[in-house]
């Protein structure tokens, strides 16, 4: 229950629309309610409400429903709702005077002074620390509590956004890995279907660099088409994922719901398309380098290449890099409670260890064991995170 001078509130911050305050200050017997309270109690203009405080009550007529914005949406806690009712000046004192016996045991009313920093609605919050220090210096020993409402709310929102970004970045990372594997498989299949042709071309004098260039040119066509199509398909998929996520985060405790809205910037879309195209080109070139290393005689006769007994030395180096990098990512993730390191570090460690041990242990059982370990780790971490409840800020 708030007593606010509406005329002064509308001039707060220099932007009347940002305050959420409309109409005149309520007169005795009347009130304005916030949108959250109106939705909770199903209130409309002209409805009657009973307000209880200090052992007394007063019946008020609802004159207006104010949006959850600015002064109208003022709330000092971290809940996402602000069920405010704005009453006429003197209403709170009147309730206290009607029941003086209950007043000493109840929380006394609090007087608040709202301060607007210089700058825009969002940018002004950057000066909160400086303003807080100046206020403390000016107030001295006066019993006042300074609350940087907007700065705290924006900080909380940034932390929540960073956690959501980690979640969707991990999902996107797996999608990228799946796309890379798909490209590699496509080019390996194309090369396998053309083994005899490739062998004949090499036999009549075609250089390896020309063969790589031919495959890379074909890969450029695939990369351009897939980048354009994948970008817009990705927007549609993102819209679907956001719809499901919005239902999940908007279905919990009403006071701590986190409404999500789908939004994107064309600059970000273009950057994503460029990154996807670069990943596709790099994958195509590296795969072409591997495919071009064919035995001409076996290729002409369409004889399958013999299976190597152990990994190459380069694979061993890559395995050690994965092992060390995965171990470092896991340790860093556990130390700083970062979900990315905790989830991806151990699988990288398991994969690297499997590559390193591939020279001494049978390949089939080693791959199977490594895959099972990765699946078990991912399942355990997901189950534990789900049971522990959401960690997002309000």
pLDDT digits (tens, 9 = 90+) for 34-54: 999 999 999 999 999 999 988
Q: How confident is the model at residue 29 (pLDDT cuts 50, 70, 90)?
A: very high
pTM (whole model) above 0.75: no
pLDDT, mean of residues 185-199: 76
Q: Return phi, psi of residue 52, to 5°.
A: -110, 135
Q: Return phi, psi of residue 48, to 5°.
A: -100, 140
Q: How confident is the model at residue 26 (pLDDT cuts 50, 70, 90)?
A: very high
Give the percent of the chain with pLDDT over 90: 14
Task: Show me where the domains of the chain are located.
Answer: 2-114, 116-147, 157-306, 310-394
**266 vs 97: CA distance, rounded Å:** 60
pLDDT in the model for residue 257: 66
Contact 346, 326 (CB under 8 A): yes
Predicted confidence (pLDDT) per residue in 136-146, tens digit: 888 888 888 88
pLDDT in the model for residue 312: 65
- Residue 61 vs residue 176, higher pLDDT: 61
Contact 211, 292 (CB under 8 A): yes
Angle of helix 149-193 relative to helix 128-139, nearest 10 degrees? 160
| Neighbour order of strands in the sheet with 30-34 | 2-3, 85-87, 30-34, 56-66, 48-53
pLDDT in the model for residue 87: 94
pLDDT in the model for residue 25: 93
Helix (H), strand (E) at residue 33: strand 30-34
Predicted confidence (pLDDT) per residue in 353-392, tens digit: 888 887 777 878 888 888 888 888 777 765 555 444 444 3
């Amino acid at each position: 229950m708030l007593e606010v001078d509406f005329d002064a509130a509308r001039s707060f911050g220099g932007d009347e629309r940002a305050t959420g305050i409309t109409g005149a200050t309520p007169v005795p017997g009347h009130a304005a309610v916030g949108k959250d309270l109106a939705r909770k109690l199903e209130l409309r203009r002209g409805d009657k409400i009973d307000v209880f405080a200090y052992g007394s009550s007063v019946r008020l007529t609802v004159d207006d429903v104010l949006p959850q914005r600015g002064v109208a949406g003022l709330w000092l806690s971290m809940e996402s709702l602000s069920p405010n009712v704005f009453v006429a000046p003197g209403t709170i004192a009147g309730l206290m005077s009607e029941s003086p016996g209950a007043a000493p045991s109840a929380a006394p009313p609090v007087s608040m002074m709202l301060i607007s920093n210089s700058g825009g609605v969002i940018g002004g919050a950057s000066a909160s620390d400086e303003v807080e220090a100046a206020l403390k210096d000016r107030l001295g020993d006066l019993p006042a509590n300074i609350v940087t409402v907007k700065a705290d709310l924006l900080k909380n929102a940034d932390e929540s956004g960073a956690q959501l970004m980690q979640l969707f970045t991990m999902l996107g990372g797996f999608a990228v890995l799946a796309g890379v594997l798909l490209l590699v498989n496509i080019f390996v299949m194309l090369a396998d279907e053309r083994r005899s042709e490739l062998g004949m071309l090499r036999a009549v004098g075609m250089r390896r660099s020309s063969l790589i260039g031919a495959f890379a040119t074909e890969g450029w066509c695939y990369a351009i088409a897939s980048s354009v199509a994948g970008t817009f398909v990705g927007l549609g998929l993102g819209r679907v994922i956001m719809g499901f996520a919005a239902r999940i985060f908007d279905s919990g405790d009403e006071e701590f719901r986190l409404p999500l809205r789908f939004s994107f910037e064309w600059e970000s879309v273009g950057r994503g398309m460029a990154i996807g195209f670069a990943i596709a080109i790099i994958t195509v070139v590296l795969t072409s380098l591997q495919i071009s290393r064919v035995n001409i005689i076996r290729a002409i006769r369409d004889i399958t290449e013999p299976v190597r007994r152990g990994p190459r030395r380069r694979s061993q180096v890559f395995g050690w890099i994965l092992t060390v990098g995965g171990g470092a990512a896991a340790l860093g993730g556990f130390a700083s409670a970062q979900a990315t390191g905790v989830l991806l570090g151990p699988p990288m460690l398991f994969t690297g260890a499997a590559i390193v041990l591939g020279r001494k242990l049978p390949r089939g059982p080693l791959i199977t064991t490594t895959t099972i370990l990765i699946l078990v780790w991912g399942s355990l971490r997901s189950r534990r995170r789900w049971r522990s409840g959401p960690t997002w800020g309000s």
